[in-house]
Amino acid sequence: MIIGIVDYEAGNIRSVVNALKTLRVSYLVSNKQEELSIASKIILPGVGEARSAMESLHSIHLVEWLKTLDVPFLGICLGMQILFERSTERDISCLGIIEGTIEHFAKVNAALKVPHMGWNDVMFSTNSPLFEGIRQGEFFYFVHSYYAPLTSCTIGETDYGIRFSAAVQKNNYYGVQFHPEKSGNTGLQILKNFVERC
């Protein structure tokens, strides 16, 4: 099994790579569809900004491919947000796998400190294989200024002035708003679950 990590200059790829190394999982890092197509699962990391990320994915011709994947996919942080239809972060059309629009926290409550940065708890709403062996209300590390709303695809939620999607799933597409690669052993467990169970 090889995990393909999409390198689109919007991700903290090194942290994800280091986490996979710890798990002794084979991986490849690429921005080319023909190389990534060899992978049995795909991870889309992300730190940065939605419009640049989408523009970058368009420029390396991965948008259509990402929309029609039949292997398990895990989007992290921004990589989860762009599964949705739109982001209000410099108003951009995203992959549209999941219905809904990504909004800014300040729109909810101007007094909230933004970014939402630090460890917050996640309540799981389903028995997703992604959360196998992880207790309800476990803490994960978040850093983000925009959030995904709760939808029928929400499988984990977190409260920061508003309840938002901390994890989503639709068919073979999984996404987490937090950074499993920065969330200690529990975060590693999420990645391990994705590799072994999803």
Partner 1 sequence: MLTKRIIPCLDVKDGRTVKGTNFLNLRDAGDPVELGARYSEEGADELVFLDISATLERRSTFLHMVERVAESIRIPFTVGGGLRTVDDIVKALDAGADKVSLNSAALARPAFINEASQRVGSQSVVLAIDVKRIETRWTVWTKAGTEPTGRDALEWAQEGVNRGAGELLVTSMDRDGTTRGYDNELLSAIADLVNVPVIASGGAGSMEHVRDAILIGRADAVLAASIFHYGTIRIPQLKQYLRSYSIPVRL
Annotated active-site positions, please? 77, 179, 181
Least distance in angstroms from the C-beta of 38 to partner 1: 25
Least distance in angstroms from the C-beta of 3 to partner 1: 17
Question: Between residues 101 and 120, which has the closer beta carbon with respect to partner 1?
Answer: 120
159 within 8 A of 116, measured Cβ to Cβ: no
Q: Which of 80, 86, 81, 2 is nearest to 40 (CA)?
A: 2
Question: Between residues 14 and 67, which has the closer beta carbon with respect to partner 1?
Answer: 14
Dihedral (C-alpha) 120, 84, 48, 36: value to the nearest 10 degrees?
110
Q: Which residues bind partner 1 (CB under 8 A)?
A: 12, 14-15, 18-19, 21-22, 47-49, 111-121, 139, 141, 143-145, 159-160, 179, 181-185, 187-188
Q: Which of 39, 86, 88, 91 is nearest to 65 (CA)?
A: 39
Question: Between residues 30 and 120, which has the closer beta carbon with respect to partner 1?
Answer: 120
Q: Are strands 173-176 and 73-76 parallel, antiparallel or unpaired?
A: parallel
42 - beta bridge partners?
4, 73
The region that residue 193 occupies, defined by phi over 0 for left and psi between -120 and 50 for alpha, beta otherwise, is alpha
Question: Between residues 41 and 182, which has the closer beta carbon with respect to partner 1?
Answer: 182
Least distance in angstroms from the C-beta of 164 to partner 1: 12
Least distance in angstroms from the C-beta of 187 to partner 1: 6
